[in-house]
Amino acid sequence: MKLKKAVSVIMAMVFTMSVPVFAGADGEFKDITFNFTSEYIKGSRVIPEVMKYDFDRGYGFVEKTTSMPERTVSMGKIEKTDEGFRVVEKNVQMFNTVDKNGAHLDINKATGYNYGGMVFRVKAPAGGYHIEVNVAGGSENALLSVNAMQTYRLETSKYWDAAKLVPNLHPAVWDGDVWSFDYANGRDFIDIEIEAKELNKPVVLRTISISALPVNESEKSTVYLLGDSTLKSYLFEEAPMCGWGQVFDRLFDTDKINIVNYSMGGRSVKQMYQEGRLNDVLMTGHRGDFVLIQSGHNDEKKGGDIGMVSDPTARFGVGSTEAMYKEYLEKCYIPAIRARGMIPVLVTPMTRASKFENGEFKNSFTTKDREFVKVMKNAAEEMNVPLADLNTLSCEYLTEIGYDAAMALVMSLEAGETPGKTNSGSYANGHPDNKIDTTHMKEALAKQYARIVAEEIKRLSAEYTELVPMTEAMTADVRSGDWDKVYPEVCADVTGKDAYYRNQIEKMVQLGIMTKDENGNFRPKDTMTVYEYAAAIEKLYGIDLNRYYGSEPLTREVMADINLKAYNAKYTEKPDYMTKYNGTNITPDDPEYDPNLVGEEAQYYPLAGYGAITDKAEISPEYRNSVEEAYELGLIRSEDSERGKMENGLTLDPQGKVTREKAAKSLYFMYVLGSDINTENDIIG
């Protein structure tokens, strides 16, 4: 750490975090119980009246919370009773309590509610705390939270990832009338928020107990990744989408260090904090662990309607202003991470590949009043935090590979590439949202972003020595920068326009299903032989087709026949991709069939029925039945389609020769089809 900056950071912490009134002789926070009742409780501090927070005294009620934007409550409604401090809310403005259709939103969906109540503030330096709050009637009467976190999320989140491999180890828990929560504080105070759950129903605060928690110790370090969908670990049902956090572990010797990905789609710095995601990392982590934070894509959301989920003015809206973003980093993230003995690392969000000007990809984060890359860089400089500039380097990498190759690696899809799905339905016929998604990426690009971040960590470790243990835990090839050995599946000739199916090619080479030649070339435009394709799919599915296949060129009709035989050898019933996401949709040959399905009804099966195919007569007699069956199962589709659109053509070109890149496309489709939908989709072998 730079000495000059380190001193300034320490002095700033001393200035803003004076010794708490509950400190013991050693200056550490002393456990405290506040008693709001008339009952004697040994060792507790009696609160005799409704008193406003005083910094020197170190506790009291406040009328404006630390939420962004701030939430206002009225101290004038609080009354002291023998049972405790009591509030009855008779007329509270509840923002966003109905959806766009006027239907009432419950607490789980409302993003801007304010149920009033009371907020008790306690001076407490950055660190870990166990908090217990006793409220008459418990969860039936009250909503509890700490420092503007989101009540219901603290209690209901069980897992942080799609595959359910990362459990929530520190949820808020109700035990009768007592609510308890382990909290990592980054500010110099803790707000206990007690809201009335219903109008005209009293909520009564009895006691609040706060005790300091020690920093966890461990011999083996962990790298925690916190971010949005561009870091997230995806399932096979979402293939080919991949986040760089999903493949980051490949760059390390996991006997020396753990890599745990807490990232999830749709998250911003605001939401990761409010839902307890950051908190679980900090309460689970140990001294010397690393926390890599990347955010910006969802922070940009402004929201079209007041109170909607993306609205930054909503209490729990995803979007942020620059001021909010800065405060979350500097008040909620960095001090709390350091107080827990962990090491923060900021990662600027990669550019969206939508801004291509004069032959170069540019930083997409240039929206007025929402330049989060600039804000993150300033925060890193001011607080002396190591920063990996993925934003700048992503622009350079995309420019280096060129527009055509870049568009192949973002979420651009055509019919027949994958049976996976998005929230709008199946990808099998192209992107259901009829777009090329330039924010999200396929695994081939995610690997390169993981490489860039690792190289940045290596570079930064020369200046920030606290990063050396992470660098030393990288594999020997990563440390030496021998990326040909780290990613041997990358092919020398799969570039430019020949990179159209780069993601499928690299996965097939990575799995050992297809190979490169002695010069590292894949030869994507060469014709595949029947034998090569049959051998590849046998290896992919672990089956024996029990048939001799020769070295003649592979045609589309023969590929359909082989795919069908492999499908029948592997499955006794249809896989989930064909059934789970299609509901009661009618078939394409039904007279009432509507090809313009929307929402979750975008289906797996071809949009054009087999009866509409115009070149069926060109199919060899011996393959007619198998081609029809393969088509109806979606195992072969028309190639007359375009990426970024949900469409099918009307020709199959049965006698057409299949190139190696088209073979890789088909094999990738069959690979995903044969995989467990709930398994992470980056597995090797």
* Exposed e or buried b per residue across 538-571, where buried means at least 16 C-beta atoms within 10 angstroms of its C-beta: bebbeeebeeebeeeebbbbbbbbbbbbbbeebe
**pLDDT at position 547, please?**
85
298, two tokens? 């969802």
Of 124, 282, 278, the closest CA to residue 190 belongs to 124
Indicate whether 360 belongs to any domain: yes
**pLDDT at position 509, please?**
98
**pLDDT at position 301, please?**
84
For residue 208, the SS3 value is strand
For residue 200, the SS3 value is coil
384, two tokens? 């002396």
Indicate whether 455 belongs to any domain: yes
For residues 192 and 32, the answer to whether their CB atoms sit within 8 Å is: no
**pLDDT at position 309, please?**
62
Indicate whether 188 belongs to any domain: yes
**pLDDT at position 591, please?**
63
Q: What is the pTM of this model?
A: 0.92
190 & 299 share domain: no
Indicate whether 427 belongs to any domain: no
**pLDDT at position 368, please?**
82
**pLDDT at position 425, please?**
83
Indicate whether 180 belongs to any domain: yes
Cβ neighbours around 323 below 10 Å, total: 11
162 & 285 share domain: no
Which of the listed residues 480, 499, 515 is the one where a domain comes to its end?
480
Q: What whole-number distance in Å separates Cα of residue 148 and Cα of residue 155?
A: 14
Indicate whether 204 belongs to any domain: yes
Q: Going by DSSP bridges, is the β-strand pair 356-357/360-361 parallel, antiparallel, or unpaired?
A: antiparallel
**pLDDT at position 312, please?**
75
140 & 107 share domain: yes
**pLDDT at position 22, please?**
60
Indicate whether 252 belongs to any domain: yes
Quick one: which H or E segment has residue 10?
helix 3-16
Residue with the two structure tokens 């090491």: 343
Backbone angles phi, psi at 159, to 5 degrees: -135, 150
264 & 385 share domain: yes
Give the pLDDT confidence of 520-529 residue by residue, as tens digits.
Answer: 999 999 999 9
Could you tell me where the DSSP H helices lie in 17-164? 151-156
Number of domains in the chain: 3
Residue with the two structure tokens 């939420």: 67
Q: What whole-number distance in Å separates Cα of residue 59 and Cα of residue 326?
A: 26
82 & 230 share domain: no
627, two tokens? 């081609």
Which of the listed residues 423, 447, 480 is the one where a domain comes to its end?
480
137, two tokens? 């009637």
Q: What whole-number distance in Å separates Cα of residue 673 and Cα of residue 429?
A: 14
**Residues linked to residue 145 through DSSP beta bridges, in sequence order:** 193
Cβ neighbours around 310 below 10 Å, total: 18
Q: What whole-number distance in Å separates Cα of residue 390 and Cα of residue 398?
A: 12
Indicate whether 521 belongs to any domain: no
129 & 247 share domain: no
Domain that residue 615 falls in = 527-658
64 & 47 share domain: yes
**pLDDT at position 16, please?**
38
Question: C-alpha 651: how far from its chain's center?
Answer: 39
129 & 226 share domain: no
CATH number reported for the structural domain that contains residue 471 in this entry: 3.40.50.1110
Which of the listed residues 456, 480, 504 is the one where a domain comes to its end?
480
Q: Going by DSSP bridges, is the β-strand pair 241-242/437-442 parallel, antiparallel, or unpaired?
A: antiparallel
148 & 239 share domain: no
Report residues of the chain scoring pLDDT below 50.
Answer: 1-20, 25, 305-307, 583, 595-600
234 & 279 share domain: yes
347 & 392 share domain: yes
240 & 155 share domain: no
Backbone angles phi, psi at 189, to 5 degrees: -155, 165
296, two tokens? 């910006």
Of 514, 519, 509, 555, the closest CA to residue 538 belongs to 514
CATH number reported for the structural domain that contains residue 35 in this entry: 2.60.120.430
* Strand segments (E) across 359-486: 360-361, 387-388, 410-411, 421-422, 425-426, 437-442
Backbone angles phi, psi at 548, to 5 degrees: -80, 130
